[in-house]
């Protein structure tokens, strides 16, 4: 079952509650929340206080993608804010296993993300402990970037790695996803598609979300 997780990075922040309700009504499965610290990535977005506020307006699954250095110091805040899943970058923490275990001990699902140039071996040892692996298909930091096509065989290699280990793990792909490349990433083994500008920039939000699953 393919899930679509629109990124609120592309929403109109002046009307964020309405923007979330719009994607919920249009058939979104998750809300993808891009948290950036201006250090791990060259942009600054929002943190747990915003998540806590928008938690009140929807029951959709909150997928919080922490593009921050030392993510372990923010886990308590996101748990308290109502996050359902916290995704940390393998490149951003010195003790990935400890970080993942802490997320799960706080009652949330745990995911690990990889930048486009990061090898899959960085997550191989942690696969039995995570609920999802996020593969970035753009360099993180900004919305509206073009899809990096070499990510497609990387998705397929990760899916084989997961299947060979007999695991049931979501593969999320984030960056430049649209109706032109969504079929490629799904066929390669992705199960959760993040789309920001494609969904929020569409004249028909419901049709845009449906097209990513078609």
Q: Catalytic amino acids?
A: 34, 174
116 φ/ψ angles, rounded to the nearest 5 degrees: -55, -40
Q: How far is CA 12 from CA 17, 32, 184, 204, in A?
A: 9, 14, 29, 16
Token pair for 27? 């058939």
Q: Strand order of the sheet with strand 192-195?
A: 3-6, 192-195, 170-174, 132-136, 109-114, 85-89, 61-67, 30-36
Token reading at 182: 């969504």
Q: What's the number of CA atoms in the CB half-sphere (13 Å) around residue 124?
A: 9
Cα atoms in the 13 Å half-sphere on the side-chain side of 7? 28
Q: How far apart are CA 191 and CA 169, in angstroms?
A: 9
Torsion (CA) 116, 84, 204, 179 in degrees, nearest 10: 30
Rounded distance between C-alpha atoms, residue 144 and residue 10, angstroms: 8
């Amino acid at each position: 079952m393919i899930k679509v997780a629109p990124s609120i990075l592309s929403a109109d922040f002046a009307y964020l509650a309405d923007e979330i309700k719009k994607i919920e009504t249009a058939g979104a499965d998750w809300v993808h929340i891009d948290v950036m610290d201006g250090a791990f990535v060259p942009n600054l977005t929002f943190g747990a206080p915003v998540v806590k506020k928008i938690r009140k307006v929807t029951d959709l699954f909150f997928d919080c993608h922490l593009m921050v250095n030392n993510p372990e110091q923010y886990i308590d805040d996101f748990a308290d804010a109502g996050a359902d899943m916290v995704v940390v970058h393998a490149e951003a923490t010195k003790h990935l296993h400890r970080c993942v275990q802490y997320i799960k001990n706080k009652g949330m699902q745990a995911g690990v993300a990889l930048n486009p140039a990061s090898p899959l071996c960085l997550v191989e040892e942690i696969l039995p402990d995570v609920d999802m692996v996020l593969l970035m298909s753009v360099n993180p930091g900004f919305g509206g970037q073009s899809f990096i096509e070499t990510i497609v065989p990387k998705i397929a290699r990760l899916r084989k790695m997961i299947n060979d280990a007999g695991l049931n793990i979501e593969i999320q792909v984030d960056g430049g996803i649209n109706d032109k490349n969504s079929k490629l990433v799904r066929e390669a083994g992705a199960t959760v598609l993040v789309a920001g500008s494609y969904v929020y920039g569409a004249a028909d939000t419901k049709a845009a979300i449906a097209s990513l699953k078609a």
